[in-house]
Each structure stands twice: as C-alpha cells, then as structure tokens.
Chains A and B, each alone.
Chain A
Amino acid sequence: MDNWRKNPRVFWILSAPPALWLLGFFLLPLALIWAYSFGHKEGIIGIAISWTPDNYLRALDPLYLQIFLKSFWFAGMTTAVCLIVALPVSLAITFAPARWKALLLVLVILPFWTNLLIRTYALIAVLRTRGFLNAGLESVWDSVDGVARAVGLDGLGAFTPPQLLYNNFAVVFGLVYVHLPFMVLPLYAALDRMDRSHLEASLDLGAGQFRTFFSITVPLAMPGILSGVVITFIPALGSFLTPDLLGGTESQMIANVIERQFKSANDWPFGSALSFILMYITFFALALRAFFSRGRSAMDT
C-alpha cells in the first residue's frame, strides 16, 4: 500500500465509497447552494438561477454587516478566552505525572460525550435568574450581609440576581464552554512534543519561570497555538445553537440569520449567499494560517 500506482485496483476499491459519499452528499449540495446564491425566488417554492449578484450586494447592507461583525467579535472573544484558559490547563496536563495524563485528557473531552443541546440546556439551568450560579452568589451575598450586620454595619440589603442569561455574556460563556477542548487538545499536543531541555536551558541561563514561559514555551508552542486558534475560531464563527438558546435579541450571530433565511423567511438564495460569504471568510482564515506556518517552516530550514 506504500504506492497506490503499483496497485491501482486496491486504491480505487478502497477510495470509491468515501469519494462517492463526499461527491453525492457534500460537493453536489454545496455546488447547489453556490448556484442558489446567484438566484432569485420565483413563486413560493421556486428558485430561478439567474446569476444575479443581488444576494451578495444585499448582504453588504449595514444590518447584515453588523451581524457579521458581531459574529467576529463573539468568535474572537471566545477564541481569546479559550486561549487564556487553555494555556495553563494544557501546561498542567503536559507536566502532570504520566499516570494522570490520560485521565486528565479524558476529563477535557468528557463534555463531548453529552449531546450539545443537552449541554446547552444545562448551561441555561446554571445561568438563569434563579439558576445555580445566582444561587451560589446569593448565598455568598447573604453570608457577607450577615457578617456585616453582626459587626454592626449596615449590611448589603436584599440580593438582586444579575441577568446572566439571554445576553452577549451568555453567548460568549456558552461558546467558550463548547469550544475549550478544541483549544486544549492542539495546545497539549504541541507542548507535549516540545523538547523539555529547551525550558531547562532557559532556566539554567538565568531566566525565571515567567520569562521562560513567554520567551521559550509560547514561541515553541506557536504551531499548536495557531492550530487551536483556527479550529476554535472557525466553528465559533458559524455557531448557531448557542446564540439561539443562550442569546437575547441583540446577540444574534450570522448563522442564526442564515437559519432564518432557509426556514421562516424562506429566502434560500439570500441564505445561500450568506453561507458562502461565511465560507469565504473561513477559507481566508485558513489561508492566513497556512501563510504563517509556511513562514515558520521556512525559518526552520
């Protein structure tokens, strides 16, 4: 199997089913959507492909541009928070005793074993006005209040639970929760591969732990950081369920608009155009990553 040219029959037999699958259920529908994006509605269910750029021009309307920007903002915040949380987590796993590593990695991917919808509803239970988080805050508030009264101060008054759900905070919170494993795993892979003697050399040369982290660990883990950023940012950008369930009217992301076009608004051509704009942006992000990693590998050789 080292060279399929030597044995083309085996190659074709093995590759035909997945190739046909991809062709029939991915590439063809995608081409159809692409064609729709240049069409217009005809009647209630008909779509005429007239190669008009109208749908793309309509997407440039400030209303939609704003939602695109908001999606970028949410995805960017999510990626940044994931990176900040995931770096210490993956460092801790990397330097954990060998017998703990497997368990810790299982804990990281454990949420994947539960359906995303259920996980998101669980978050609602945590974040809602009378949810677990507010209940916890309230008990802290009450005890502080009790202590204050006991020492003769005025006390804090009644607890008014902050609104944690159905706003932008809830969306980013939910997105971070969903995407954190996507950041931890590539970071861990990069850190674990790293030659420890580089860190020891840095310490030996007089650098402290923080200096070593920023001057040596982070640059050496950069390929993993880039991978983590890309595979967190891209799905976060196209998120649909999280803003739908956790967000308010002001926290709609572009995927929610796309969904509405295909369902309630029944405007498939416009929904197709929005989908493809999102895809072009994704391709651009991937190209950017390829560009940066090429720069790095050119430096290495």
Chain B
Amino acid sequence: MNNAMNNAIVQVRGAVKTFAGVATAVDHVSLDIFEGEFFALLGPSGCGKTTFMRMLAGLEIPDRGEILIDGRDMTGVPPNRRPVNMVFQSYAVFPHMSVLANIAYGLKVTGVGAADIRRRVDEALQLVQLGGLEQRMPAQLSGGQLQRVALARALVKRPRVLLLDEPLSALDAKLREAMQLELVKLQHAVGITFIIVTHDQQEALSMADRIAVMEKGKVRQVAPPAELYEYPRSYFVADFIGKMNLFHGRASGDGAVAVEQLGEIKIPGNSSAGRVGIAVRPEKVKLFRDAPRPGFTAFKSTVDNIAYHGSESYVFATTESGAAIAATVQNESRDSKLPAVGDSIWCGWRAEDTLVLEE
C-alpha cells in the first residue's frame, strides 16, 4: 500500500520452541510482519500459533532463532520491557481493581504522571466506548465489556504491536461479528500493528490484511485473504480454509494429472511429475443437464443429497467413477430450479479453476 507497509516491525528468523516431552510447538518459523498491518495467525488448536505469539510477548523464550521488534533484538528482553502489549484470551482483567485502575495499571507501574494517566485513560475509554464504567469492578461487567477493558488496558500503553490471543472466542456469535468489524475500525484509528491468533478462518479472512496458516508448528502459507482462498498452495491449507472438493493424484509432468477416482484431467499451467493434490471450490462447480462445452472439466454424476441453506444450497453428487463432488448453488431467485435427488447430471468446472496442491 505505502512505504510504511514495507517496514517490517516484527522479524522472526528460524524460531524454534520445544516443550519437554511434547512435540515441537514452533518449528523453524521465519516471518516478517509489517508496520500498520492487521496480521492473523490461523491454525487448528495445537498448531503453535499461541506459543508463537507468546514468544513475541516474551512470555516464552525460543530455544533457537531470533526475534526483532522495531529493529531491536528481543533476546533476553523480559516481557515488561518489550514494545508490545497483549490482549489475553481470558482477558486477564485484574478482578481486584476497578476498570479505571485496570487501564491505568500499565501506566502507573512505568511511572507516568497522574495527570497524563488520567488523560490517556480517558482517551482509551472513549476509544473502546467504555465511558461511564470507570468505577465498575470487573465482576460487574459482561464478557464484551471485559474484552474492551483488556483492549483499552493494552492500547493505553501505545505499543508498537498489539497482540490479540483468540480475542473473540469467548463472545457469542452476534457480538463476535460486531467486534470483528470494530477491531478493524479500531486498528485503522490507532494505526498500530495488530497480530491476532485465531482458529476461526472466517474471522481471519474477514479481518486480516495478511494471514499465516500454521500447522504442526510450521507456517504453511502467508498470503492476503483472497489469495489464500483462491490459491492455496498445499493440501492442508486448501482443506483448512473454506469448503473444498479434494482429491489425490499423480502429475505426469506434461499438463495432466491422473486423479484417484476421477481419471485423467488437464491442469492449468504445469506441474512437475509426482504426487499432487487436486482441488476445486464448490462454488466453482456448475451443474449441467448435458455434457458441457469444451474448456470444462466435467463428470457425469448422480445427485445424492441436497442441503438447503437459505441463500445457497449444497448439492452432493457422486461421479460414475465413484468420486464425491459438492457444488454450491446460489438461490438467486425464489423459483431457482435445483436438481432432485437421484437425478443424473453433469458436474463441471472451468479447467482454470482447478487447483494443483503440494501433497
């Protein structure tokens, strides 16, 4: 976007963290996160994303590798001397302090003057819309309000990087959606780099500028949301992000792949010979009464099941060769015609929508 975006504020080089008796939590992760970015660490539970974030905060010490924040090597720098602040998954709002005391705590312990504290706490309260609740004790607040306290408490420190560990997981669905939007707005308002850990791909896709997908301690792919969705590189990422029709196959090296249960198909571009994954998004799959024109990769199928979801329907079909294919059909008008269970149809997609994945 601009010059600021090219300025890496967090640089991680070959970070490794192993817990005694457990598998490697973070396995040679190297990552650049840019100034002003909304960055998401996405992965299933146990993939090492939280451990990675705690290493940035200084709450875990990497066994190997180095972490630079704002150009400064963080080796041996304790959590209380790092230019980052964290919003904990449990919020960790101090139960024996009022909202005001909670937010002021981080300023007080670093010797900020009383007048300055009052002004900055007021600003932070405005920012997270908690005005009027200063004197409340945490036990008198709702989950959403507690989260705002945790946010204000971290933001009032004016960190270079704000770390958010699963910040929305404890909120109900409706509040979660509202907070997603609010967090993005907040990030634009304060201009601080946000790094969020989440296992919820929808959350990551809708909020983040860039996403790192992690699996078993390794970063599998780093990309903006649309690229991650449309061009997943590995079988794991394709499977993890969104819905996907996935197959295993063997590439011949001359633009064709022998796909298990489907037979040979043409692929866009080329792929070196060897085992590959083949994938196509359900919304890219079209249903035809008769064999479609050339340019489509299509298979004669029978409809097994139809799941109605309001704005769209999922059609599940089986090809003559026995492969299961799912297609998403938009219910564009009230009298949209769907095939019936047992109907014989063709499932097909444009050849360029075929994804070739690393196994």
- Show the binding face of A for B, using Cβ within 8 Å: 195, 197-198, 200-208, 211, 215-216, 219-220, 222, 299-301
Contact = CB atoms under 8 A, between A and B. Distances in A.
B170 to A, nearest CB: 13
A206 to B, nearest CB: 4
A204 B85 contact: yes
Given A205-B106, A206-B110, A200 B92 contact: yes
Contacts of B154: 204-205
Contacts of B78: 203
Interface size classification for chain B: 20 to 34
Given A299-B137, A300-B139, A197 B88 contact: yes
Interface in B6-32: none
A271 B192 CA distance: 73
A206 B92 contact: no
A211 B109 contact: yes
B169 interface: no
A249 to B, nearest CB: 47
27 contacts: A197-B88, A198-B94, A198-B95, A200-B59, A200-B86, A200-B92, A201-B94, A202-B105, A202-B109, A203-B58, A203-B79, A203-B80, A204-B59, A204-B84, A204-B154, A205-B85, A205-B157, A206-B80, A206-B81, A206-B106, A206-B157, A207-B105, A207-B106, A216-B94, A219-B96, A299-B137, A300-B95
A203 B86 CA distance: 10
B139 A301 contact: yes
Nearest to B109: A207
B281 interface: no
Q: Which 6 interchain pairs have the tightest Cβ spacing?
A: A205-B106, A201-B92, A197-B92, A207-B109, A203-B79, A206-B110
B67 to A, nearest CB: 15
B210 interface: no
Contacts, number: 74
Interface string B139-161: 11000000000000110010000
Contacts of A198: 92, 94-95
A146 B139 CA distance: 65
B90 interface: yes
A83 B92 CA distance: 27
Nearest to A222: B96
Most chain B beta carbons < 10 A, residue from A197, A201, A219, A299:
A201
Contact of A205 (B58, B89, B109, B139): B109
B164 to A, nearest CB: 12
A215 B102 CA distance: 11
A220 B96 contact: yes
Given A205-B105, A211-B109, 5 more contacts: A204-B80, A205-B80, A205-B153, A220-B94, A220-B95
Contacts of B139: 299-301
Given A211-B109, A299-B137, A204 B57 contact: yes
A195 B95 CA distance: 11
Contacts of B86: 200-201, 204
A300 B95 CA distance: 7
